[in-house]
Amino acid sequence: MRSEGTADEPETGFDGSPGGGRQPTGPQHAEPRHAGAHGPGDESDESVVEPVGDPTGPEFLGDAPEPAGDTHGTEPELHPHMVIADRYELQRQLGRGGMGVVWEALDRRLGRRVAVKGLLYRGAVEPETQAQWVERARREAQAIARIGHQNVVAVHDVIEAGNQVWIVMELLNARSLADLLREQRRLPVAQAARIALQVLRGLRAVHEAGVLHRDVKPHNVLFRPNGRALLMDFGIATFEGAVQLTKSQEIIGTPKYLAPELVHRGGEALPKPGTPASDLWSLGVTLFEMVEGHAPFRGLSSYEIFIAVYEQPLPAMAHAGPLAPVIGALLRKDPLERPTARETEAMLMAVTSDPPALDPPTHRRNEGLRLPAGDGNAGAGDDGGNGKGPASGGGGSRRRAVLAAAAVGCAVLLAGGTWLTWQKMAAPAPTYKKAHAELKIGVKEDQPGLSQRQTDGSYAGYDIDLATRIAKRMGYGAKDIRFVPVNSENRASMLSAGRVDLVIASYSITPERKQQGVVFAGPYYTALRSFLVRKDAEHAYTDAAELINDNAQICTVRGSTYEKWLTDTGYNLTKRQSSYQLCVDYLLDDKSGISAVSTDDIILAGYVGQDPDKLQQISNAGGAEGYGVAMVPGEPELKKEVCDALRAIVNGQEWEDLYAEHLASLMANESAPNRPKLTECEDS
């Protein structure tokens, strides 16, 4: 008889016998796992490709198809110290799966270690297959990039060159939940509930980004050094309503964790498209395993597991305690009867006595699936994550709207991950984009590091990158975003005249501006008041107080908050210009008489970076300015979409990445400040 313990459970063979099928495909490391890499002992629960046909026949495969022939002779030589895209220096290989290889690398620009994942065997397959692999890797990157959450692995960069796609992810020196279960077999109820709660919150962010994970299991849950649980491992990205099948009618997934609606049984209908309820089933299996020490549905082959999942009742639980009702609800065979993510979160919080999440999901009002307009099927309402709709029919019972969408594309295995995306099924097309095909964003032209127009007419900087990320989360592609130059003096009038939809231009949030009809989302960054002075001894100033005299002439920008502040504080404001660059030009002109430029420290840091031998900051002026995304009143849906995007960015890895990419070097490589509280978004 097989042991019931997770650690002792034999590997399920994919040819119908214990221990058969897949063999380890990469080097074994007795060390923590990294994002995108397979660790020791993972093979028994690795995602597999299962034929829909006769499970005992010769076509019953256990892995993604590998290319025939001598793959090693055709694969380009990868080696330590090789540099990808003139930036990422490969250090050592962490692991490889059916189609992917993961390296630890050094980001030479930012000085941090990252995980870099690329394709294997590209030259050993037909061009059509090679193109499919590249497209799958591209979709994987797009899937992860749509999610910004502290319980989901972060993607930093995507590089595509020739027939290779590299995905740059955060490097996680962390143990997996599977490692923990191998050591302890069972976890205390409170600990298991807290882990499940964090995984669930990550899943909510995943679903709201239009992604199905499709492979929630202990191997794909890691822990950061602070103990926070993190979802990882991406591999499949395809389109809405796609079933768990490849073109050759093979089921993809890890058998023990696949929901029954995804399982095919002989001559019956093919598996149904997955929904968030399918991921919640997998979470239920994982939670069962945490408290009971083994999976609820088992067998000696994948086919036996499929039959158990589809037909057998949930085994009695001996150790689940107050988690038993939660697990029982998540493991209902009918996905329509499973609780929503919001309901599940409430049940887990009752067990842990934890407060609600401090990192609300991207779309707080809509967690459920909704079909695109024109499908002819009712979309789910505010259902909390698994597509359960409002009450309908007699008796007031809650039922989910039917989720029907044609399968599109193919689902394939890449390095063990099993993620599935669908286009805008988490919510209908954003309201604002329906009426505004192009998003016009007002930005500054002359603020180095924040927002600066390049010689080719494009824009670059922190505000530009942030604006692009917000727009993409609102459903806009790069070609649908237009940057419009604004200055401090005309920002409000550009909004009110309809010349721009949003302004993201170091726009400080003040009561006066809100009273004048400007609506803000944010703040997304808080700057300190500062002065810019010359370095040479003749003009040297070292303290802000030294500038409060009649001889020290100050320049600032018209329409800025500094006009009033300088005058009220006693500074000698003698120049008001349309841009800070003009003020800097006056400061460097010996004949102008200008002693200092006054504005925010982050703006002035950009000018110091351009001319460090001549300019320096005096940073003890006192006071702070919170930057917001500005828009006109009367657009609550627009504000909600912007606030939802900001929440995802600020609460995820993106916020620190934006700072590291654009601002850290200007601020003497200081670490990122604390994440701002989005006080202007509390009503959205």
Nearest-angstrom CA–CA distance, 324 and 193: 11
Distance linking the first and last C-alpha atoms of the chain: 57
Name the maximum alpha-carbon separation found in the chain.
Answer: 93
Locate 369 and state its tokens: 């699936």
Residues in the chain: 684
**589 alpha-carbon distance from chain centroid:** 47
CA gap 247, 238 in Å, rounded: 13
- What sign does the CA torsion over 598, 601, 604, 608 have? positive
Give every CB contact of residue 9 below 8 A, 6+ residues apart in sequence: 2, 3, 44, 294, 295, 298
- Taking the C-alpha atoms of residue 148 and residue 655, their distance in angstroms, rounded to an integer, is 9
Residue 115 and residue 156: Cα distance in Å, rounded?
10
Q: At what angle do helices 653-662 and 462-473 cross, to 10 degrees?
A: 150
User: CA 139, CA 556: separation in Å to the nearest integer?
Assistant: 47
Helix runs in 146-260, H state only: 177-184, 189-208
For tokens 């926070």, the residue is 228
Q: Which residues sit opposite 596 in a β-bridge?
A: 554
* Cβ atoms within 10 Å of 24's Cβ, excluding its own: 13
Number of other CB atoms surrounding residue 499 within 10 Å: 13
Q: Compute, in degrees rounded to 10, the torsion defined by CA atoms 364, 153, 257, 276.
A: 20
Other Cβ atoms less than 10 A from the Cβ of 4: the count is 13
In the 8-state DSSP scheme, what is residue 417? B
User: CA angle at residue 313 from 307 to 317, to 5 degrees?
Assistant: 125
Residue 144's nearest CA partner among 230, 233, 224 is 233
Q: Tokens 């967690």 identify what position?
A: 367
Would you please indicate which residues are annotated as catalytic (active-site) residues? 215
Determine if the peptide bond prior to 313 is cis (ω within 30°).
no
Cβ-based burial of 366 (10 A; exposed 0-12, middle 13-18, buried ≥19) = buried
421/140 Cα distance (integer angstroms): 9
**β-pairing, 553-557 with 572-577?**
parallel
Taking the CA atoms of 422, 425, 427 and 428 in sequence, report the sign of the dihedral they define: positive
Residue 284 tokens, joined: 């239920």
Query: Please, which residues have CB within 8 angstroms of residue 461's CB and are 6 or more apart in sequence?
Result: 447, 448, 449, 450, 451, 452, 662
